[in-house]
Amino acid sequence: MSQKKKRILFLCTGNSCRSQMAEGFTNALRGDEFAAYSAGVAPKDVDPRAVRVMAESGVDISGQTSKDVEQFIGQEWDWVVTLCDNAREACPFFPGLVKRSHRGFPDPPQLARDAASEEEALAHYRRVRDQIKELVLGLPRSLEE
């Protein structure tokens, strides 16, 4: 008898970087136990640098798209996880027996804004990517308060 996968919604402001990484890692590394989705409170295009550093780690997120959190309201979730402070503050109410968790990560585009080179910019993305991978590898324990 197969057990139902736990559903996780990862939220960020733009759904362009951190939440996309979390969705990609969860489905690639933990897809046997979890079904991950991502959305933003103000979605914009998926960040090409996020796609690049995820590909370096063996996970292809090039087919993922930014989605508005509004389209997920009313669905059943086991966890709704905010990955930035702005998303935590703007997160809509999700009815039902959903666990909310906040695991803030620095914003790679913001960190890379003043980078002297593309390699320096990518270093910020790689650091945050690796932190998000650790969160995903520790699921569900890493979401418990």
The question of whether 91 is a catalytic residue gets the answer yes
Q: Pick the catalytic residue: 9, 59, 87, 91?
A: 91
Give the CA count within 13 Å in the CB-facing half-sphere of 90. Answer: 17
Which residues lie below 8 Å from residue 66, measured CB to CB, with a gap of 6+?
Answer: 14, 15, 16, 20, 39, 40, 43, 44, 45, 46
- Is the Cα dihedral 112, 113, 114, 115 positive or negative? positive
Q: Pick the catalytic residue: 9, 11, 12, 54?
A: 12
Q: Pick the catalytic residue: 29, 50, 84, 87?
A: 84
CB contact at 8 A, 26 and 139: yes
* Beta-bridge partners for 37: 9
The question of whether 17 is a catalytic residue gets the answer no
| Catalytic sites, residue numbers | 12, 84, 91
